[in-house]
Amino acid sequence: MKVRTRSAMAVLAIGALALTSACAEGNQGAPAAPSGSAGASAPAVEAYKAPTITVGTAEDSKGPAIEPEGVVKGGTVTMIDRDDFSHMDPGQLYVNTETNFSLLIARTLTGYKRTAKSEYKLVGDLATDTGTPSDGGKTWTFTLKDGVKWEDGTPITSEDVKWSMERTFASFITQGPTYIQQWLTDVDHKKAYQGPYDGKRLDAIETPDEKTIVYKFKTPHADANYAFAMGGYGIVPKAKDTKEKYDKAPVSSGPYIIKNHVVDKSIDLERNPNWDPATDPIRGAYPDKWRLEFGQEALQITDRLMADAGPDQTAFTFYATVPPERLQQVLGDPALAPRLMKSPSPYGNYYYFNLDRMKDQKIRQAINYAWPSKQIQQTMGGPAAAALPTTILNENTTVGYQPYDLFNKTTKPEGDIEKAKQLLAESSNPTPTIVYAYNQTPVQEQVTVVIKSALEKAGIKVVAKPLDRKTYYDSIGLTKNEFDLYWGGWGADWPSGSTVMPVIFGPIADGAPNYSHLKDEAITKKMDEITAMTDIDAQNAAWMALDKEIQETITPLVVAENRIANTLHGSKIGGAEIDPQSWVVQPNRIFVKQ
């Protein structure tokens, strides 16, 4: 009896405790910006300086990389992130975290060398310089450096470089950039050439000797040297090419070798003895060992980095930004300011309509009007975590940016339900049902609730389909997918508007980034004309005009919120910086403080 009376009392006591401790303080508005940290004020976009990128000389292309201040070599660095890399085969790389990782194990012909904050130079990585164009930009010649080797010590030859490009035509390569392939052959490059595995070689690439490689394009491409810097054009050894299996066990040409890979859990890297820093102007490769851990949500990662305990002091993350739940705390804590990195997204983020299934433009416009931009922004953590753009081209990375606002997003960021209803009434189906596919992350799950709630107010039934995160892009990349609306991000592959529009509205293929499946002859023709323009300013203006025209006449997408990354790193990590182009913390300059 006594025992039970006491336990009944315990219940009461706990209940009382719950009531008393419930006196939590309120959260009055946004906290003031912590003093002393310049870039931490709420509208971070203003403090942001767009990166300047220039073409470097052969002298710039010599190693080693410029060392960060106070650099220390050695030690083990930990990288914590949510997802394992779904691809490691260079030919399959297009996702920013994956290409970022490939900097550690694979080299490209050219690359970006950081010379100062927000200042980069395009330099030769494997090549001695950024290539020599001839024939009006149709022919590009590269010479390989001396002393560049594979992890087994065999030299990297021009034959390997040629092979790496040829194999990207093979049928098992479904991701990855396709610019150079198209320039070498045809827009439908996979039809023009099927890869080197059946013995047929590509004549458009010539290898006069072991060190020289010549690319012959069909049309002039003055910016080809930028294209060769993409992680997707990393090299693969001809002698050790295992086709599909290469994706699981790549051979290293970079500073590290994969020692151990437990899928979805961890990757251990150790030094590649055959990588010579004197040949590499880009990669510092200061730590001796890397440990990459996967499977943690951004929230846990942020909590670990905030606590900064023991081994987490030497940890950082490629991509896990501070989630909405912790933003108030992280931005309000001056002690965390030195370890906080901030950068607005250089990407365009869109909710693509699948035009094969959503054929009525009125419905697409109605969804645009009803779109709950402001609510999504709040769910993501407010103006400190996301901006609300209205254009397809990103304002942070577009030269000659001209804003326009077709769907009243500046006046009604919370969505114009009345206008949407009106448009739906005029459309072919006033009560449509759409299938919205989303990446199943905690934040996206909440955003989905918000979208569903808003669109249902306008009378649109939303069927939400969660997709597995690791294969998200693979799922929405299928041309025959069964979804109507899905999110996709796209970033300029090098600083030019030509790497956005002709890509996201380019060829339709499995894995190609034309997720809306837009196929319009007039638009395609216009894009070809703009690409061929030689006056850069006129070209930029033309891209801006086309941006508006596409949204007006076709409406293939809803412009999504543009996230602002707030990312923490451990206190013993030096040289950490969000790369303004790829928007991930790049590994080249990371070192472990003693």
Partner 1 sequence: MTIPAPAASTTVEPPAVKTPETVGRSPGQLMWLRFRRDPTGIASAGVVIFFFLVAILAPVISWLYGKDPYTLYGQDTPGLLNDFGYPVLPNGGMSSDFWFGVEPNLGRDVFMQLVYGIRTSLLIAMVATILISVIGIVMGIVAGYAGGRTDYFIGRLIDLVLSFPSTLFIIAFMPVVENLFVDPSEETPVWLRAVTLITLLTAFGWAGIARLLRGQVLSMREREFVEAAKVTGASPARIIFKELLPNLWTPILIQSTLLLPAMVTAEAALSFLGVGMIEPIPDWGRMFLRGTQVYQNDITFLIFPGAALLIFVIAFNLLGDSVRDAFDPKLKR
Q: Which is nearer to partner 1, 26 or 36 (CB)?
A: 26
Residue 413 binds partner 1, judged by CB under 8 A: no
Does residue 153 interact with partner 1 by CB under 8 A?
Answer: no
Our CB check for partner 1 shows the closer of 31 and 155 to be 31
Looking at the Cβ atoms of 12 and 116, the one nearer to partner 1 is 12
According to the binding rule CB under 8 A, does residue 329 interact with partner 1? Answer: yes
Separation of alpha carbons 260 and 249, rounded Å: 10
Task: Please give the Cα distance from 592 to 555 (Å, whole number).
Answer: 48
Q: With respect to partner 1, which residue has the nearer C-beta, 154 or 440?
A: 440
Per CB under 8 A, 410 contacts partner 1: no
Give kind and range of the element (H or E) at residue 566.
strand 562-568
Positions in 267-296 near partner 1 (CB under 8 A): none
Q: Tokens at residue 89, please?
A: 């085969």
- Which span (91-99, 308-316, 317-325, 424-432) binds partner 1, by CB under 8 A? 317-325
21 lies in the site for partner 1, by CB under 8 A: yes
> Which residue among 47, 307, 449, 532 contacts partner 1 (CB under 8 A)?
449
435 binds partner 1 (CB under 8 A): yes
| 3-class secondary structure per residue, 8-22 | HHHHHHHHHHHHHCC
Residues 138-169, buried b or exposed e (16+ Cβ, 10 A)? bbbbbbbbeebbbbeeeebbbebbbbbbbbbb
116 binds partner 1 (CB under 8 A): no
CA–chain centroid gap for 75, Å, is: 28
Regarding 445 and contact with partner 1 (CB under 8 A), the answer is yes
Neighbours of 265 (CB within 10 A): 11
Which residue is associated with the tokens 């609510």?
Answer: 375
SS (H, E, C) 400-459: CCCCCCCCCCCCCCCCCHHHHHHHHHHCCCCCCEEEEEEECCHHHHHHHHHHHHHHHHCC
Residue 22 interacts with partner 1 (CB under 8 A): yes or no: yes
Binds partner 1 (CB under 8 A): choice among 71, 464, 512, 541: 464
Question: Considering beta carbons, is residue 22 or 116 the nearer one to partner 1?
Answer: 22
- Shortest Å distance, C-beta 415 to partner 1: 10
38 part of the interface to partner 1, by CB under 8 A = no
Binding mask 350-389 for partner 1 (x = CB under 8 A): ----------------------x-xx--xx-xxxx-----
- Is 18 among the residues that bind partner 1 (CB under 8 A)? yes
Nearer to partner 1, 63 or 382 (CB): 382
State yes or no: residue 15 binds partner 1 (CB under 8 A): yes
Q: Does 450 bind partner 1 (CB under 8 A)?
A: yes
The pairing of beta strand 315-316 with beta strand 76-80 = parallel
Task: Show the tokens assigned to 368.
Answer: 């645009």
Closest alpha carbon to 101 in 292, 277, 253: 292
Pair of tokens at residue 49: 């300086």
62 and 129 Cβ atoms separated by less than 8 Å = no
Task: For partner 1, give the closer residue by CB, 311 or 442.
Answer: 442
Which C-beta is closer to partner 1: that of 8 or that of 309? 8
| Cβ(434)–Cβ(460) below 8 Å | yes
For residues 65 and 120, what is the distance between their CA atoms, to the nearest angstrom? 12
Nearer to partner 1, 417 or 527 (CB): 417
Write out the residues near partner 1 by the rule CB under 8 A: 1, 3-5, 7-8, 10-11, 14-15, 18, 21-30, 42, 299, 323-329, 372, 374-375, 378-379, 381-384, 414, 435, 442, 445-446, 448-450, 452-453, 463-466, 468, 482-483
